[in-house]
Structure 1
Amino acid sequence: MSHLSVSRAFKWSCLLLMLPFLRISVSAQTAGSGPDILKHVDPFIGTAGHGHVFLGANVPYGAVQLGPSNIMQTWDKFNGWDWCSGYNYISKEILGFTHTHLSGTGIGDLNDILVLPANGKAMLRPAKFNNMNSGYGSGFSHEKEKCSPGFYSVHLDKYNVDVRLTTSARVGFHEYHFGKTDNAHLLVDLSFGMGWDAATNTYFRQLDDSTFLGYRFSSGWAKDQRVFFAMRLSTGVKRMELYEDTLKLEGNEAQNKRLKALLYLDLSKDAIVKIKVGLSPVSPENALANIEVEIPHWDFDKALSAAEEKWNGELSKIVIDADEKVKKIFYTSLYHTLFFPSVFNDVTREYRGTDKKVYTDPGFHNHTIYSLWDTYRGLHPLMTIIHPEKVNDQIRSFLEIYKQQGKLPVWHLQGNETNTMVGYPAVPIIVDAYLKGYRNYDIKLAYEAVRHSAMQQSDGIQYLQKMQFIPADSVVESVAKAQEYAISDWCIAQMAKDMGKMDDHKYFSERSKLYNQYFDRSTGHMRGRLSVDQWRTPFNPFNAAHRQNDYCEGNGWQYTWLVPHDVPGLISLFGGDKLFLNKLDSLFTVPAAGLNADASPDISGMIGQYAHGNEPNHHIPYLYNYAGQPWKGADRIRQVMDTFYTDRPDGICGNEDAGEMSAWYVLSAIGFYPVNPANGQYVFGSPIIKEATINVGQNRRFNIRVLNQGRKNNYIQKILLNGRPYTKSYILHRDIVSGGDMTIEMGAHPSKTFGLNVSDRPR
């Protein structure tokens, strides 16, 4: 039975009639470019070690991430964990090229719609590790592999095929140069998946000799992922064979769980074959329309130029002057912040919701891949500075998810809620946007949604509603959850206050202080409390059992500082600035060892017990400003930038986490970071650029000039803001986005005045 129903065929024809108008819209969105920033980006940074970074071709916020998929090497220490993106630099083989990838996450999924150009004997199962003759796939060398923003190329040794890849937002463009044409064919493996992912239903249909439609449904981290596709070749195929795993099927259409297709080509020597693969969350017809709108031609270089123009436009929103190594790390980091959240609709703006219903044009671009526990801390505040045109779409995406699944997103993946990590991390993002004046959405619904998050009856939230601590013997990760809840409750209180909801303001302000229920003065640490109102014993602040103890991917040393919404309150728990500073100093100087064998691998990038490889630590070096010693934070911030961000493939010390690790570097390199993710304050650290021009939208620029920049000049001496002395050790969001000029003078010794006065400290 055909899956192109009459109604869908009619809808497809209507879409095609709209193409001229849709093309005008797309062209208008991509017009304009900036300076040649791309030469400073090295996409291989973060592809080795625990970076888990995607390598391949994409465009900013694109639905397609087209790149190689390796063999997941399960013999390694972390049982394949370092292949969560589908690629790791240490691999020497490529199984094929897939159209969706995660980047920097701690769980593997996606790698949908595998395509492999091949010749010789057709193979239907992937090769095994260290035995490429056992199945499909090829060895390759890094010497014949290149990647830059919007572009990937490699030579497949086994098949003597040169591959070039580029993309638009919703279309992957392949170009294959066949140096060997013996039994040349394309393998399309819809059963292929990596990590947690496995196909549940697949479909493939030949529409004509060069056009194919289908879908791949799967379950993994995303329990009900649905991706529809259309594939168009530049040359017709001489025949097609369909298989259920290795069982050959009859006909030009099939549906089963493990579907594969062989498309045989009639090629002369040195032939070039081009393929366009459109993706859609809605239907194969929409995927075909996406191709016709976004890449209606067969000019690979033209498509590549369009992708590069998009990257140049986004990356040039911050133009810096710095030494070449800093530029490379900085622009690669900025590049990483632009992968996600990815667009999750078609050129018509239709999308499939969390409830699996198809929604017509909602008036905004829907997005997915929200690693919110990570990105609420730095990436989304960065977005409010350099991507103001996208912020309202993010909030509207959140609110649609709320309506469809009954709660705000936690970790949203391809229209699925994974419920990964702790807290209700969409709340700080919504409140931060609201307080910064982003309000092109249903504000009443937004408040309803954030308040609903805090009134759920699960994961210990029910105890907070009674103003009680969360018992560690009833709720796992009780301390981490309580601290994350407190941050979000503070945010809700601020939104309530601004909206005149004073009873809610009082209630959530009180709840935001409940973090103090876990502070043990005798040890100077946050620790778990039992239902009988006793501390959990024995207590070892070094101890960290992955997702099994009172913390989430951390230990008592690290979670003691997770109070970014009320640092003065945390200081008072210690007994004042001096005792607070003594303990904070100790965090960086106690032994880095002491973690038990089942500690989370996310605890990485260690300075003492400070773990930069995990996001709940990211604000900690900036806490020195709150106690009047910003120079100590400056030293640690420089140490982190110099040690844990390098220009090598293993140049990121922990999971990239959908851009958050890189967002920390981008913000810190230009001189500040949002300790509190929603109060509009950015705390000064130690800039490593000489100059920066930040495009903050509406034809405004914020210019930063750093005097006496140098490797040993870590310390801010004084600041001029728009020509006037500025003594505070933080800057406000409104001062940045209003545009203007800031001059920062650095020195080799701590200033005797900057940031010392209580009135000049962040709060």
Structure 2
Amino acid sequence: MRKISFTLLLWCPALLYAQQPVQYVRPIIGTEKMGHTYPGATVPFGMVQLSPDTDTIPYELDGKYNPDVYKYCAGYQYTDNTITGFSHTHFSGTGHSDLGDFLIMPTTGPLQLNPGTADHPENGYRSRFSHANETAEAGYYKVKLDDHNITAELTATNRVGFHQYTFPAAGDAHIILDLVAGIYNYGNKNVWTFVRVENDTLVTGYRQTNGWARTRTLYFAMTFSKPIKKYGHRNYANDVYKGFWRKFNQSENFPEMAGRQIRAWFDFDTKAGEQVKVKFALSPVSTEGAQNNLAAEIPGWDFDAVKRQSQDAWNKELSKVAVQTIRPDDLINFYTALYHTYLSPTTYMDADGAYRGLDQLNRRAEGFTNYSTFSLWDTYRALHPLFNILQPQRNADMVRSMLEHYNQSVHKMLPVWSHQGNENWCMIGYHSVSVIADAIMKGNVKGYDAMQALEACANTARYKPYDGLEWYMQLGYVPEDKNGSSVSKTLEYAYDDWCIAQVAKKLGREDLYNEFIKRSLNYRNVFDPTTGFMRPRLSDGQFRKEFDVLSTHGQGYIEGNAWNYSLYVPQYPADMIAMMGGKKQFTGHLDSLFTMHLPDAFFAETEDITREGIIGNYVHGNEPAHHAAYLYNWTDAPWKTQERIRMILPKMYKPTADGLGGNDDCGQMSAWYLFSTLGFYPVCPGSTEYALGSPAVRSASIRLENGKTFSLETIDQSEQNVYVKKVVLNGKTLNRPFIQHEDIMNGGKITFYMSRKPAK
């Protein structure tokens, strides 16, 4: 396994407060194996993610699913040694593929319009590269394309990607625009593409796709720093031009190119060391919108100035938390995690607020930023709760974006997994409810009506056609013989229902409170006291006889097994513990979760879990048990929470390319790291309570949007002193391992007294 190493200047923790946190960000972390992050250039929550793609993987081979597609959810794998080009849209850390729009590749020599292969890049436009000649920073990416001897540099603003290509002394310089390429069902997802050469430096067009998002249209405006000498295209869906309407050659120097699979090229006269720059703007609405975004965000051609602007934006957001760490590597882990949490959700509107709605109508966001890319089954757990502390205004806009989605939905449902004007219906639950409830309960109601949001939550939870909800509402659980993943769905629906009840109570809606607080107890209906686990139940009321507590397939769970999901009652942990035999027995159950040995068959049956993401039977690489280590706080052994957290952190997060123990999932894995490193965690979003753990920093200062500062310090901190002897909040010793949201937002100071021995 190849590793990457980082060199730091002489490290002194006290200096961090005066330094630029962007220097500690390593976007390369998570690009190897399962992290599925991308190393390219973007800005916080930016609509453009300009990043290299390292292979072209068809979704199907011989009519069957190609498992290699899973590796390229972000388009880049660190172990690859060729680059096919630089595309403008990428997911960060997902377990599903899409995007990869508008791939650009600079080349020299004879024109080649196919990408070639990793084994023989010389047969196409791709190029070999070396990590020794690669730089990845927040807002900036640089690499040498060895086969073409071209240095490629990338930076970005919110809606514009900025390329700078330094060419060698070569006779032919080409820039290829590949509209066939895409991360998902390579080429075949295109419904239509169009390219128009407006003049000798400006090109516009669009791409319509039917991939994971079924009806997605994205427009672009591309402008070059010097005039085009010659241009042309090839339509790979209809390569032979026949018929009476093809009266002349439309493949070269013809200003309009249309087809399902277009690759276009643009030739330039260049000298040795000459730089050709490309500005590439996106719009969800029109080519005119893309041109306006281009003019608004990068009117000039100063690449270095735009890079500084991008990195200044990152420094502004990253500096909201200043930390002093135990080890230098922890600074890299911390600020890269914070960087990853600010990659999603993404802006989805033009500079003037225009965007394409879920109903495929052009709309305008008035008074808020419209966001997309909501991986809610993942991010409701820690990412959005983190935003309620660090990014409350953005999170309020995200809630507003969800409510607009609801208003545009023919189903009248909040988003489940949505991006770029589409609902993907991926994963389970209706966790927009959790995000909205968490914001309302924590007082983050800015720009939307809380009562209307409550009604949207309730209506979403009553939509019977959705994923077993009719059975859930009728029986009090989802029956496995009627709807798969039934236990997971029952548990997650019950939690979301509890969130609705809390908001209803806060807003004085007793009718809704009574309806949903009753539903929030439905987890009891799938608990089998004879086994001590949550177990799939059938529509006749019987538990299913075939039951394997270790298997992740066909047992009523999704991305987890009975051991992990039986711990998922975040709204009533004390009741869950009582059901499972009381505090002593439950503590033993948790101990076994972290220490048991899994058989090889466990890993053989699933593609998205690796040994790197598992500790015992605790699956950190997937989300359902992310709160599990904190459950000791509801037993007589909270010191075991402290021990587990400090054990998980270095195992699952490292400053290397393979440093994430699972998909980052649009920032959820990184948000877990940040909360846990700071010493507290939102076990149950929708409540205002955080469970305490063991902070892994010497000190931290959180600068809040309300102008206040919440500070954290540790006494006797070290790698060995992982236990908490005492916690003092604003001068008062805490008598329980919990703090409230208002304790943070009111500002103040929390002090952890650390020890090598547990305080039993």
Same fold (TM over 0.5): yes
Map 1:105-504 to 2 at 5 A. Answer: 105-196=94-185, 198-245=189-236, 249=251, 251-322=254-325, 323-405=327-409, 406-440=412-446, 441-458=448-465, 459-504=467-512
Report the alpha carbon displacement of residue 94 of structure 1 after superposing the two structures with TM.
Answer: 0.5
Q: Secondary structure of the residue that 2:743 maps to in structure 1?
A: helix
Provide Cα deviations, 1:471-519, integer angstroms capped at 9, x if missing partner: 1111100000011101100000011111211122122111111101111
CA distance in structure 2 between the partners assigned to 1:538 and 1:109 by the alignment: 36
Report the alpha carbon displacement of residue 592 of structure 1 after superposing the two structures with TM.
Answer: 2.5
CA distance in structure 2 between the partners assigned to 1:188 and 1:34 by the alignment: 43
Alpha-carbon contact 1:554-1:603 (below 8 Å) kept? no
CA distance in structure 2 between the partners assigned to 1:647 and 1:630 by the alignment: 29
Map 1:437-586 to 2 at 5 A. Answer: 437-440=443-446, 441-458=448-465, 459-545=467-553, 548-586=554-592
Provide Cα deviations, 1:105-154, integer angstroms capped at 9, x if missing partner: 11111110011111111111111231112221101000001000000000
Report the alpha carbon displacement of residue 603 of structure 1 after superposing the two structures with TM.
Answer: 6.2
CA distance in structure 2 between the partners assigned to 1:161 and 1:612 by the alignment: 41
Alpha-carbon contact 2:169-2:271 (below 8 Å) kept? no
Q: Alpha carbon RMSD of aligned pairs, Å? A: 1.6
Query: Which residue of 61, 67, 71 maps to 2:55?
Result: 71
Q: Secondary structure of the residue that 2:299 maps to in structure 1?
A: coil
Alpha-carbon contact 2:547-2:555 (below 8 Å) kept? no
What's the counterpart of residue 95 of structure 1?
84
Map 1:689-704 to 2 at 5 A. Answer: 689-704=697-712
Report the alpha carbon displacement of residue 549 of structure 1 after superposing the two structures with TM.
Answer: 3.7
CA distance in structure 2 between the partners assigned to 1:444 and 1:502 by the alignment: 13
Query: Which residue of 28, 41, 44 maps to 1:44?
Result: 28
Pair 1:746 & 2:754 matched: yes
Provide Cα deviations, 1:642-663, integer angstroms capped at 9, x if missing partner: 1111111110011110000000
Alpha-carbon contact 1:47-1:87 (below 8 Å) kept? yes
Q: Secondary structure of the residue that 2:110 maps to in structure 1?
A: coil
Amino acid at match of 1:303: V
Report the alpha carbon displacement of residue 367 of structure 1 after superposing the two structures with TM.
Answer: 0.5
Q: Secondary structure of the residue that 1:492 maps to in structure 2?
A: helix
Alpha-carbon contact 1:603-1:614 (below 8 Å) kept? no
Amino acid at match of 2:362: V
Aligned residues: 718
CA distance in structure 2 between the partners assigned to 1:503 and 1:186 by the alignment: 63
Alpha-carbon contact 1:159-1:180 (below 8 Å) kept? no
Note the residue ranges of structure 1 that are not aligned, 5 or more in a row.
Answer: 1-32, 753-763
Report the alpha carbon displacement of residue 252 of structure 1 after superposing the two structures with TM.
Answer: 0.6
CA distance in structure 2 between the partners assigned to 1:602 and 1:224 by the alignment: 31
Label 1:357 to 1:530 Cα distance change in 2 as closer, same or farther (>3 A): same
Label 1:567 to 1:535 Cα distance change in 2 as closer, same or farther (>3 A): same
CA distance in structure 2 between the partners assigned to 1:646 and 1:351 by the alignment: 38
CA distance in structure 2 between the partners assigned to 1:116 and 1:81 by the alignment: 23
What's the counterpart of residue 725 of structure 2?
717
Pair 1:54 & 2:38 matched: yes
CA distance in structure 1 between the partners assigned to 2:262 and 2:127 by the alignment: 21
CA distance in structure 2 between the partners assigned to 1:551 and 1:305 by the alignment: 47
- Tell me which moved more, 245-254 or 656-665: 245-254
Report the alpha carbon displacement of residue 580 of structure 1 after superposing the two structures with TM.
Answer: 1.4
Identical columns (%):
40
Q: Secondary structure of the residue that 2:604 maps to in structure 1?
A: coil
- Tell me which moved more, 124-133 or 365-374: 124-133
Alpha-carbon contact 1:667-1:673 (below 8 Å) kept? yes
Q: Secondary structure of the residue that 1:291 maps to in structure 2?
A: helix
Provide Cα deviations, 1:176-217, integer angstroms capped at 9, x if missing partner: 000143211111111211224622111111111001111111
Amino acid at match of 1:40: Y
TM-score of the superposition, structure 2-length normalised? 0.92
What's the counterpart of residue 627 of structure 1?
635
Provide Cα deviations, 1:670-719, integer angstroms capped at 9, x if missing partner: 10110001101111111110000001212111000011111111111111
Provide Cα deviations, 1:284-333, integer angstroms capped at 9, x if missing partner: 11111111111111000100000000000111111000021111111111
- Tell me which moved more, 43-52 or 67-76: 67-76
Report the alpha carbon displacement of residue 751 of structure 1 after superposing the two structures with TM.
Answer: 1.4
CA distance in structure 1 between the partners assigned to 2:24 and 2:434 by the alignment: 33
What's the counterpart of residue 14 of structure 1?
none
Q: Secondary structure of the residue that 2:697 maps to in structure 1?
A: coil
Alpha-carbon contact 1:613-1:653 (below 8 Å) kept? yes
Amino acid at match of 2:354: E
Alpha-carbon contact 2:56-2:181 (below 8 Å) kept? no
Amino acid at match of 2:25: V
Pair 1:598 & 2:605 matched: yes
CA distance in structure 2 between the partners assigned to 1:400 and 1:628 by the alignment: 45
Alpha-carbon contact 2:451-2:507 (below 8 Å) kept? no
Amino acid at match of 2:210: S
Amino acid at match of 1:235: K
Report the alpha carbon displacement of residue 73 of structure 1 after superposing the two structures with TM.
Answer: 6.1
Q: Secondary structure of the residue that 2:676 maps to in structure 1?
A: helix
Label 1:287 to 1:690 Cα distance change in 2 as closer, same or farther (>3 A): same
Report the alpha carbon displacement of residue 243 of structure 1 after superposing the two structures with TM.
Answer: 2.0
Report the alpha carbon displacement of residue 464 of structure 1 after superposing the two structures with TM.
Answer: 2.8
Provide Cα deviations, 1:433-474, integer angstroms capped at 9, x if missing partner: 011112220223211210011101132211232352221111
- Tell me which moved more, 600-609 or 647-656: 600-609
Alpha-carbon contact 1:464-1:511 (below 8 Å) kept? no
Alpha-carbon contact 2:502-2:686 (below 8 Å) kept? no
Note the residue ranges of structure 2 that are not aligned, 5 or more in a row.
Answer: 1-16, 241-249
Amino acid at match of 2:30: G
What's the counterpart of residue 29 of structure 1?
none
Amino acid at match of 2:140: F
Alpha-carbon contact 1:242-1:252 (below 8 Å) kept? no
Q: Secondary structure of the residue that 2:198 maps to in structure 1?
A: strand
TM-score of the superposition, structure 1-length normalised? 0.92
Provide Cα deviations, 1:311-358, integer angstroms capped at 9, x if missing partner: 001111110000211111111111100000000001101111111111
Report the alpha carbon displacement of residue 173 of structure 1 after superposing the two structures with TM.
Answer: 0.4
